[in-house]
Homo-oligomer: A and B are copies of this chain.
Amino acid sequence: MTETRYRLAAGTGERTVVDVAGRAIGGDHFTTIAGPCAVESREVILESARLVRDAGAQLLRGGAYKPRTSPYSYQGPGEAGLRLLAEAREETGLPVVTELMDVRDLDAVAGVADVIQLGARNMQNYPLLTELGRTDKPVLLKRGPAATLEELLLAAEYVLKGGNGAVILCERGIRTFETGYRFTLDVTAIPVLKQLTHLPVIVDPSHAAGRRELVEPLSLAAAAAGADGLMVEAHPRPDEAVCDGPQSLVGEELAGFVRNVERAAELAGKELAAAV
């Protein structure tokens, strides 16, 4: 490789703790982010937000702009969804994570999001990475399904180089030969990233698994391996969800889920919020 490698993302000294509207991600903290795939309606996002808050999770997720493999699939509510996220935050106090797909939507998304998500398909979308480097919003950067850890860190480097140091990395499953599940969760990435970078590392087991019943075992595995947090899909009534229903946790089971993963995180040395 003649290319210069990552510099600002490297290092194992003091760990970066990202401040999201007063909630800390990384370091000794363990963070659960939960919510529906898409901000599909006012009712669903508000109900989800209450479930997430009551379950003891720390952040609300929900997509206004949805990158979809097929042009015939539901594409998300767009800007109207951003307004509903703001309303959900206002009611529950939960900071919100939402995805940015189009550089032209940056102002609209940054006006609402507490954390801007860059999806797996956009991990190497350099105009987006460059613009996010100029904002002061934390960035949740998902690993592409065929991206090496070095490529992930070089993508983070684009944001860091622009002046924005608040990057959270997210492992979400890689593409392998195994067809028994959607993606193969790369749990090894967690301790290896911790050796390579000071940035927080969270895991999205929902997109990796593609099936609800796998989400909790994979979440326990990720927490036990040292992840700084989880981002899971949860919906009040997954059977009615407009997207990703089969992999969404059922709202009423979310509290038990949060309790269990926090115990696993404690095993890996995390201090539980509840213990504070």
A: which residues have CB within 8 A of B?
A: 3-7, 67-73, 101-104, 121-122, 124-127, 144-146, 148-151, 154, 157-158, 161, 174-181, 184-192, 195, 208-209, 213-214, 217-218, 220-226, 260, 263-264, 267-268
Q: Which of B72, B154, B208, B267 interacts with A188 by CB under 8 Å?
A: B208
Residues of B within 8 A of A175 (CB): 146, 175, 177
Interchain CB contact (< 8 A) of A101 among B73, B126, B191 = B126
Q: Could you tell me the distance between the alpha carbons of A119 and B199 in the complex, rounded to whole angstroms?
A: 29
Whether B69 pairs with A3 at a CB distance below 8 angstroms is yes
Q: How far is the CB of A154 from chain B (nearest CB, A)?
A: 5
* Cα–Cα distance between A178 and B185 once the two chains are bound (Å): 12
A101 to B125, CA, bound (A): 8
Nearest Cβ distance between residue A197 and chain B, in whole angstroms?
12
State A84–B32 Cα separation when bound (angstroms).
50
18 sampled A-B residue pairs with Cβ under 8 A? A71-B158, A71-B161, A72-B161, A121-B125, A146-B146, A149-B178, A149-B180, A150-B180, A181-B188, A188-B208, A188-B218, A190-B217, A191-B213, A217-B225, A220-B225, A220-B268, A221-B225, A224-B267
- The 10 A-B residue pairs whose C-beta atoms are closest, nearest first, are A146-B146, A4-B72, A224-B224, A221-B221, A220-B224, A102-B127, A221-B225, A191-B217, A121-B124, A175-B177
Q: Whole-angstrom distance between the alpha carbons of A17 and B104 in the complex? A: 34
A260 touches which of B72, B186, B267 (Cβ 8 Å) = B267
B127 touches A101 (CB 8 A): yes
